[in-house]
Amino acid sequence: MAQRHQINVYFHNLWGSDIADVKLEFSTSKSDIPQNTYTKASIAAGEKWGPLERTYETGPDAEDFDFWHIEFNSPGDPAGKFQGRNKFACVIDSDVPTDRPIDLWVSGEEQAFYTGYPESVGGRPGVAGYTGFPKSIPGGDYTCFTKLEKS
């Protein structure tokens, strides 16, 4: 039987400028309807937003994937309306401790959307992967990522 969990998520604006009309949606593969939706009028460059609560499942009969979606406007450089892929999946596994947050961030330089899970595979100390410090140009320091689309 699937176990339901909740974890705090923090979004970091590493776009390089302020962003506006931010919308984050969290959903699962069994439903296209977002389980958690959050909006914010603006987020200053370098600002952190959260905690935002994320619901997910692990174990037998759990949801297959955890989907993350972002939309926002950037009046700065690069300018325009940006969004992530509608089906950007990054699974929250049972090895992710719920007492530490998940970080999400956007990079303006790379025009990408990133997730960083605490203590997840590839994120343990001494192993290449997420170390708990979101960066504008993260290299391999993330759990999953997707390029942003300009709409």
Give percent of the chain above pLDDT 70: 92
pTM for the full model?
0.90
Give percent of the chain above pLDDT 90: 54
pLDDT in tens, 88-114: 999 888 878 788 899 999 999 999 999
Residue with tokens 């389980």: 35
Pairing label, strands 102-107, 3-14: parallel
CB count in 10 Å sphere of residue 6: 11
pLDDT in tens, 11-26: 999 999 999 999 999 9
Rounded Cα distance between 70 and 11, Å, is 10
3-150 CATH fold: Immunoglobulin-like (2.60.40)
Question: With contact defined as beta carbons under 8 Å apart, do 11 and 105 qualify?
Answer: yes
